[in-house]
Structure 1
Amino acid sequence: MADESNVIKEEVKDEQDILRRVFNILRENSPELVGFSLLTVIMPPQVLLEGTKKTIFVNFMDYCKTMRRQPAHVRAFLLAELGTSDTPDAQQRLVVRGRLTSKNFEGLLRRYVCGYVVCFDCKSTNTTFTREVRLFFVRCEQCGSERCAPQIRMNRTYLGRRKTGYIGSSSLIMKGKETKDTD
């Protein structure tokens, strides 16, 4: 068994070396065929638990700088998707109410990148994010295309813990009487 796994690992390494050589040759001869934006690597989110009710997203500002997006917009997206609130932090970290894992943040960041960073036409991450009047636009620096970015909407079913008893955004029906939502 151990010999078979070592053979498989060596074969995978050989295949990766061949792929690297092919991409290097393509980059040298025709760089327009190989999208450098596809090679953008984002590190996994570093998440710490503070007590039992707070989660700290440590490398939040690094993500914002890598994506070249305003931290306020990324924060608004994450908080709306999680359906929670944050507390200010002097070290520019995101402190969120609730116990979350790095997988939760990783999935949300992927959704953010797909919706607000990546160009739909050429799949480049070399885009700018601007606001004109009331709409946000994503403009690709590589191909020149432009699209309207989706609005940030509250998603109360992301973590799967809450029931979908919400009607609209401000009222909740509990045991036959209508009360205001305090979230």
Structure 2
Amino acid sequence: MRKVINRDIQFFAKYIMRELGTAGNVEGQRLILQGKFSNYLINSKIKDFIEEYVLCEECGKPDTKIIKEGRLHFLKCMACGAIKPIKLI
């Protein structure tokens, strides 16, 4: 999953755990969550993460990086150059 979304696994895990209101841990490249969650719910949260922290809002491409300027964080598209402010988890 990490290679597909090109984000740090810890960053992704923190987002998913916060959204699901549960604890968990990362073992290798796997995220282990405490509790039972439907595939639909987990897939929905993954989709939300991708829309917020991976896809460019302007061109829709996943060629983005999270950059820090001062205390602020931005999602910068390497394809079209668009920049969007984001909240870190």
Same fold (TM over 0.5): yes
Aligned counterparts of 2:61 and 2:14: Cα–Cα separation in 1: 24
* Matching of residues 19-30 of structure 1 within 5 Å: none
Contact map agreement 2:9 2:29 (CA 8 A) in 1: no
Q: State whether structure 2 residue 33 is matched by structure 1 residue 96.
A: yes
Contact map agreement 1:115 1:150 (CA 8 A) in 2: no
Q: CA offset at residue 134 of structure 1?
A: 3.0
Contact map agreement 1:131 1:137 (CA 8 A) in 2: yes
Residue 12 of structure 2 is matched in structure 1 by: 74
Aligned amino acid, residue 105 of structure 1: I
- Residues 94 and 138 (structure 1), Cα distance of their counterparts in 2 relative to 1, 3 Å cut: same
> Which SS does the other structure have where 2:17 is aligned?
helix
State the aligned residue count: 89
Aligned partner of 1:141 among 55, 63, 78: 78
Aligned amino acid, residue 99 of structure 1: K
Aligned counterparts of 2:76 and 2:14: Cα–Cα separation in 1: 21
Q: State whether structure 2 residue 52 is matched by structure 1 residue 118.
A: no
Query: Normalising by structure 2, what TM-score?
Result: 0.87
Higher relative contact order (CA 8 A, sep 6+): 2
Q: CA offset at residue 82 of structure 1?
A: 0.6
Query: Normalising by structure 1, what TM-score?
Result: 0.45
Residue 67 of structure 2 is matched in structure 1 by: 130
Aligned counterparts of 1:80 and 1:66: Cα–Cα separation in 2: 21
Q: CA offset at residue 103 of structure 1?
A: 1.4
Q: Which ranges of structure 1 fall in alignment gaps of 5 or more residues?
A: 1-62, 153-183
Contact map agreement 1:118 1:124 (CA 8 A) in 2: yes
